[in-house]
Amino acid sequence: MGFKIVKKRVLIPGRVTEVVFLAPDIAPTAKPGNFVIIRVRENGERIPLTIADKNPEQGTITIVYLVVGTTTALLDLLQEGDEILDVCGPLGKPTKIEKKGEVVCIGGGTGIAAMHHIAKGHAEVGNKVISIIGARTKDFLLFEEELAKFSAEVLVATNDGSKGHKGLVTEVLDSYLANHTVQEVVAVGPVVMMKAVAEVTKKYNVFTTVSLNPIMVDGIGMCGACRVSVDGQVKFACVDGPEFDAHKVDFDELMHRLNSYKQQEELSYKQFCECHGKEKKN
């Protein structure tokens, strides 16, 4: 039995899409921080996607994806009523959420979707949540309205200044931390952003959690693909994470490992685009 898509919503045309699908065995136990591994076709690649939200009553989970290569492009061909071939989850350790005071949650790119689920969890236990989101331009911002429903403040940064602060989320974070006492910072987004967040929060000595996105294959700790170094020790992000103490992560190694299959990925996506008459996006 496949996993039927009940709702598909384009968030950023041609780039980011939200899909809600039936997964009655996953929805009741999915927690903030968990992810699923999906396969779109027989012999297809397995890819991890964060559970951006869930509805246990309706037995659905929500994913938000950015089309970057063959499997996300294949997923994007599916429409409401179609089925995702298989979905494994919930995987990974859930976020440690406890009442602690004020928590700043930062999201970049599709990381905002994952951050939204975590931030909502913090708000539900009574923490004051400050959300900081960033994108290239205002048209690439995600979940601003959803975050505003439970955040004390939503601070925005865009590279071109089309909305909020002109510049990086780390600059917004830096000035916020200079004037407020914060118990934890959570960052989800591109590795380069999470590394920069860790550098800022180290200055203020604020505990910081990042959600790592290494290449994953099985998602259950058997293949070793998602190996990361944390505090000088080998960890498997799929079972030991994906969230870790940002001040202990070797981000440079993670960036290096993420590029391991760049050539093959580019070739595969080029072939997909040629077959489907699509233009390759940057």
Ligand X SMILES: Cc1cc2nc3c(=O)[nH]c(=O)nc-3n(C[C@H](O)[C@H](O)[C@H](O)COP(=O)(O)OP(=O)(O)OC[C@H]3O[C@@H](n4cnc5c(N)ncnc54)[C@H](O)[C@@H]3O)c2cc1C
By C-alpha distance, which of 38, 69, 70 is closest to 51? 38
- 64: its two tokens: 């938000």
Window 114 to 133, contacts with ligand X (CB under 6 A): 114
49 is an interface residue for ligand X by CB under 6 A: yes
CB of residue 89 vs ligand FES: minimum separation in angstroms?
Answer: 13
Stretch that binds ligand X, among 21-29, 66-74, 143-151, 172-180 (CB under 6 A): 66-74
User: Residues 6 or more apart from 24 whose CB is under 8 A from it?
Assistant: 59
Number of residues near ligand FES (by CB under 6 A): 12
Rounded CA-CA distance 146/134 in Å is 15
Contact pick of 136, 221, 255, 264 for ligand FES (by CB under 6 A):
221
238 is an interface residue for ligand FES by CB under 6 A: yes
The site partner of 64 among ligand FES, ligand X, none (C-beta below 5 to 8 Å per kind) is ligand X
- 207: its two tokens: 């505990």
CB of residue 226 vs ligand FES: minimum separation in angstroms?
Answer: 3
Rounded CA-CA distance 24/29 in Å is 10
Rounded CA-CA distance 159/169 in Å is 9
CA trace torsion 178, 180, 185, 190 (10° rounding): -40
Site string for ligand FES, 158-197 (x = CB under 6 A): ----------------------------------------
209 is an interface residue for ligand X by CB under 6 A: no
Q: Give the helix/strand (H/E) hosting 156.
A: strand 153-158
